[in-house]
Structure 1
Amino acid sequence: MQTDQIDDHAVMEGGSTLVIRRWLPGPAERIWRYLTDSKLRSKWLAAGEMAPVAGATLELVWRNDELSHGGDRRPEGFAEEQRMDSRVIAIDPPRLLTIGWGKGDVTFELQERGDRVLLTLTHRGLDDPRDRTMTASGWHMHLDILVAEASGQPPASFWSGWVKLRDDYARRLSA
């Protein structure tokens, strides 16, 4: 039995796999563009042109300061811009996208349910426990911004939200 109730927080499954879900306004084709179009993806995650074919390479470029409101300072130790070379592993528009992510991969699955879309993000390969808190809080904040963008609402500021979530996930994931 499937339910519409989801926990906003990411959970660890199987020791090194993080899963987080969000409801978004449909249709799935619209949300798909937020995953695959560099301009739309840069509004909530990272820029980077992507060919829609398995095996295609892409470079993701984060500028989280641009997702933050004025006066919301970047925490010490973070660069103004971060880059990651990646590749498309699997793609089935508008339902599934898997891309390489460091030593692991990230899968975005979209399921239409009425006029909404359930996004399930699965990040595999988080073998280092120190990475889990940073990754969980990052995905949580980025997805909160995606929900706001897709819903036509003003998004929360990235850095202050991320700091609060980092502290929350440090407690949650160590329990």
Structure 2
Amino acid sequence: MTELAGMHTFGELIEPATLKIERILPGSAERVWSYLTDGELRRKWLAAGTMQMNAGTPFELVWRNDELTDPPGKRPDAFPEEQRMQSRIIEVDPPRRLVFSWGERGEVSFTLEPKGSEVLLTVIHRRISDRTNEIMIGAGWHMHLEVLAAVLSGGRSEPFWDGWARLCREYERRLPG
């Protein structure tokens, strides 16, 4: 495993309003792909929601972050128990690449590259609205990917909300102002 794509590597802004984060994950690209595209598997680390794997198809993501870890940690008062977002598939190339809209403005791409018995997952989140969202989204992807790595390896992650709060402070420090 390279240090660049290690489990605790921080995301970085690769251009204005674009965050990139990488992880080496256990298993094949097909297995990780299923955790990106199958709503029941995806809900274990990110958000539920059925996707039809055709460009142009709409879908809904449903976050219930309190369900990702046991215990969940302390959810910030400003966050509801459930969050929903409408999205649309932009590009799909199983099991290598998935791109979808992030609400009405943003875009997220997932690229999988086999590395022996592991896979390099690259997430790029484009058109982030402002610095506050860069921090929250950076911490969010970082924590969700830690949960995914724990799910794939049969391990445990720290409580989701506690990790997210810790990572927000770290991204505040690391991302340019």
Q: What's the offset of the Cα at 1:155?
A: 2.4
2:63 — aligned with what? 62
8 Å contact from structure 2 (residues 61, 87) kept in 1: yes
Aligned-partner residue type, residue 89 of structure 2 = V
2:84 — aligned with what? 83
2:169 — aligned with what? 167
Q: What's the offset of the Cα at 1:71?
A: 6.7
2:37 — aligned with what? 36
1:157 — aligned with what? 159
SS at match of 1:70: coil
Q: What's the offset of the Cα at 1:5?
A: 2.8
8 Å contact from structure 1 (residues 86, 100) kept in 2: yes
SS at match of 1:140: helix
Q: What's the offset of the Cα at 1:72?
A: 1.8
- Deviations for 1:99-149, whole angstroms, at most 9, x for unmatched residues? 100211000000001111000000000141221000000000000000111
8 Å contact from structure 2 (residues 99, 107) kept in 1: yes
TM-score, length of structure 1 as denominator length: 0.95
2:17 — aligned with what? 16
Structure 1 runs not aligned, ≥5 long: none
Q: What's the offset of the Cα at 1:156?
A: 2.1
Aligned-partner residue type, residue 121 of structure 1 = V
8 Å contact from structure 1 (residues 34, 40) kept in 2: yes
Q: What's the offset of the Cα at 1:85?
A: 0.2
Q: What's the offset of the Cα at 1:69?
A: 2.5
Q: Percent identity?
A: 49
Structure 2 runs not aligned, ≥5 long: none
Q: CA RMSD in A?
A: 1.4
Q: Alignment length, in residue pairs?
A: 173
CA separation of 1:75/1:91 partners in 2, compared to 1, >3 Å: closer, same or farther? same
Q: Distance in 1 between matches of 2:141 and 2:88?
A: 19
CA separation of 1:172/1:43 partners in 2, compared to 1, >3 Å: closer, same or farther? same
